[in-house]
Amino acid sequence: MTDTPLDLAHAAMQAAPEDNTARLRFFERLADAELFLLLEVEAEGDQITPQVFDPGTGAMVLAFDREERLAAFVGGPAPYAALSGRVTAELLSAQGIGLGLNLDVAPSSFLLDADGVRWLAATLGHGPDEVEARLAEVSAPAGLPAALISALDTKLATATGLAQMAYLVGTTDGDGKRGHLLAVVGAAPGAETALARAASEALTFSGIEAGAMDVGFFDARDPVTERFARVGLRFDLPQPAPVRAPDTAAPGSDPDRPPRLR
């Protein structure tokens, strides 16, 4: 079986236990992953009832990053809810419950107690601040660590259909202050918050100070985008293929209506 992104990130973390960046990168992959949460019974609407276990370290639920891994653990088909890692952390944090990941069925087997879940949920909940600045000059980005560039590339590669592209540029504002800007071009209506949060998480999980980069949104017809294109590092966001909307939504598929534990 091919290793998953969580397997690879977990292996990197285990190989370098003193490397804080590797540890943060694992938790970033956990937040981004689709997890299959083991349930007591089939979900009813937005109501889910996870199976809760207590291995002696406190109550926890079990989740897996592949359906086959859940089935292998249980020994056959079982009810589950497919949720992102960030939604799972938010739900469990509110209940004071820990998370068992891929237990006994994958190299990324990992226990995160209730305190760890609360930390992850709080870290993911740190959104960016809104600021306004007048750009006097844009230039090629310089001095940013490779870890941040890699994190941005990974984050934006998962933001299918949320924007056309983004440019990372160096900036100088009207007061002569230098910085960096992730200029998002052609954002879909309502996608700004999700994109800004993705950029903020790339900073957080790269171990970079939050002030190292701003995020701005620009119309594709704005003349300033030509300046970004000349000097910036470009990220192309994937675009979705047309699909027919499902008749009913699975629990967790609508970010505005997260599932509720019962």
CATH of domain 135-236: 3.30.460
Per cent of the chain over pLDDT 70 is: 87
pLDDT of residue 249: 59
d(CA 242, CA 244): 7
Domain ranges of the chain: 5-125, 135-236
d(CA 83, CA 87): 6
CB-based contact 46:224 (threshold 8 Å): no
Q: pLDDT by residue (tens digit) across 89-127?
A: 999 999 999 999 999 999 999 999 999 999 999 988 776
The token duo for 260 is 């509720």
d(CA 142, CA 119): 32
Helix (H) or strand (E) holding 151: helix 146-157
The number of beta carbons lying within 10 Å of the beta carbon of residue 75 is 7
**Given pLDDT bands bounded at 50, 70 and 90, which one contains residue 205?**
confident
Is the whole model's pTM more than 0.75, yes or no?
no
pLDDT of residue 236: 95
Q: pLDDT by residue (tens digit) across 24-47?
A: 999 999 999 999 999 999 988 788
pLDDT of residue 84: 92
pLDDT of residue 124: 87
d(CA 64, CA 139): 44
CB-based contact 152:196 (threshold 8 Å): no
Give 126 or 238, the one with higher predicted confidence: 238
E strands present in the chain:
34-38, 47-48, 52-53, 60-64, 80-84, 98-101, 110-112, 135-139, 165-173, 178-185, 214-218, 233-236, 260-261
pLDDT of residue 217: 92
Q: pLDDT by residue (tens digit) across 133-178?
A: 677 889 999 888 888 898 899 889 988 999 999 999 999 888 888 8
pLDDT of residue 210: 52
pLDDT of residue 100: 96
Q: Tell me how far CA of residue 73 lies from CA of 18, 42, 77, 82, 85, in angstroms.
A: 31, 18, 10, 16, 19
